[in-house]
């Protein structure tokens, strides 16, 4: 029996057939349930999906995990590090579509689409003077986290005529970003921006990084967006910033927790657009994702460096 790989999610049939065709000597298990995953992973060499501590504990022979998303926050990375399990992720696969999603949220606020949609539902013709309308061109966008998503967003926003500022660990220049700031300088950057977008991974360092201090530094009437991880934003502080008028609006693809309790104020908040963690979900995501998985698979089988290897010290 060859190398055994368990795919722990519902992978489309066309991609199952593609993997069988391209890697016929491998023992493929396309799991249909949590119970089957836990059973099959016991003698598996690799796992593709959303690993949990339970899955990792059951997989005594696991040598490689390929994460379905870009985050490595759903399991104890220290366990993987101690067991010397290689970890790769889908970093960059969703960059283009999530960047477009952010622009959709920004344009929704710019053209006051929530108010227009509400008026349409009530069959009411709305006049321009009843709306809050503006143009993105000439405005300043601040991006917290200049990974693949942040860089893709910078290029698209720049093409719309926006001035782009960014926060990242490295001081290395980034295309279409006018100025770079460190994490400690987020308030300085935020004070200049009409729009601030968080594109951060979920790590101990980023937990609640976006809080009252950041919101308090933002321009009155500015907009905030989160397409990284919900835990990077202090939810109560976000609600306060919306309620007291510091923020004119918030576009949230991710929140903490997911889903929010039914009685949470963000659900019905008039200044909020929520999109239920759907920003990365397009057909093209899988077309790109399967290629990246195959590239990492080839590297794993040949003993080479994984293409999108996760730094288990940093958590991404």
**21 confidence band (pLDDT: 50, 70, 90):** very high
Angle of CA points 165, 167, 169, to nearest 5°: 145
Section 226-240 average pLDDT: 97
| Confidence at residue 73, expressed as pLDDT on a 0 to 100 scale | 81
Q: Is residue 237 within 8 Å of 266, Cβ to Cβ?
A: no
Question: What residues are annotated to the active site?
Answer: 229, 258, 277
Section 114-136 average pLDDT: 96
Section 204-226 average pLDDT: 97
- Claim: this prediction has a pTM higher than 0.85: yes
| Domains within the chain, CATH numbers bracketed | 4-92+283-302 (3.40.50.720), 95-274 (3.40.50.720)
| Confidence at residue 1, expressed as pLDDT on a 0 to 100 scale | 54
Angle of CA points 91, 97, 98, to nearest 5°: 70
pLDDT tens digit sequence for 78-98: 999 999 999 999 999 999 999
pLDDT tens digit sequence for 107-124: 999 999 999 999 999 999
| Confidence at residue 2, expressed as pLDDT on a 0 to 100 scale | 80
Any long-range contacts for 207-210 (C-beta under 8 Å, 24+ apart)? Answer: 207/231, 207/232, 208/232, 208/233, 208/234, 209/144, 209/183, 209/233, 210/144, 210/186, 210/234, 210/237, 210/238
pLDDT tens digit sequence for 139-175: 999 999 999 999 999 999 999 999 999 999 998 999 9
**74 confidence band (pLDDT: 50, 70, 90):** confident
pLDDT tens digit sequence for 245-278: 999 999 999 999 999 999 999 999 999 999 999 9
| Confidence at residue 69, expressed as pLDDT on a 0 to 100 scale | 86
pLDDT tens digit sequence for 288-313: 999 999 999 999 999 999 999 999 88
């Amino acid at each position: 029996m060859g190398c055994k790989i368990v795919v722990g999610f519902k992978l489309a049939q066309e991609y199952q057939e593609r993997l069988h065709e391209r890697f016929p000597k491998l023992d493929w298990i396309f799991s249909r349930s949590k119970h089957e995953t836990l059973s099959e992973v016991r003698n598996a060499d690799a796992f593709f999906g959303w690993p949990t501590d339970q899955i990792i504990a059951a997989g005594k022979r696991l040598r490689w995990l390929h994460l379905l998303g870009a985050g490595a926050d759903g399991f104890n990375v220290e366990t993987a590090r101690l067991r010397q399990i290689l970890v790769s992720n889908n970093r960059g696969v969703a960059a283009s579509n999530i960047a477009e999603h952010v622009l959709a949220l920004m344009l929704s606020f710019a053209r006051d689409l929530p108010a227009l949609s509400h008026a349409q539902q009530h069959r009411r013709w709305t006049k321009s003077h009843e709306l809050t309308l503006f143009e993105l061109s000439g405005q300043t966008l601040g991006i917290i986290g200049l990974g693949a998503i942040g860089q893709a967003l910078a290029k698209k926003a720049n093409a719309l005529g926006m001035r782009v500022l960014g926060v990242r660990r490295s001081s290395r220049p980034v295309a279409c970003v006018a100025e770079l700031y460190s994490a400690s300088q987020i308030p300085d950057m935020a004070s200049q921006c009409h729009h601030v977008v968080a594109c951060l991974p979920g790590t101990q360092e980023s937990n609640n990084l976006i809080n009252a201090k950041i919101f308090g530094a933002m321009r009155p009437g500015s907009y905030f967006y989160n397409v990284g991880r919900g835990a990077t934003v202090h939810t109560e502080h976000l609600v306060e910033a919306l309620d007291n008028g510091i923020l004119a609006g918030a576009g949230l693809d991710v929140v903490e927790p997911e889903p929010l309790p039914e009685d949470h104020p963000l659900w019905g908040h008039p200044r909020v657009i929520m999109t239920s963690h759907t920003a990365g979900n397009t057909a093209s995501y899988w077309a790109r994702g399967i290629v990246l998985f195959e590239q990492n698979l080839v590297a794993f089988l040949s003993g080479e460096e994984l293409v999108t290897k996760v730094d288990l010290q940093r958590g991404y």
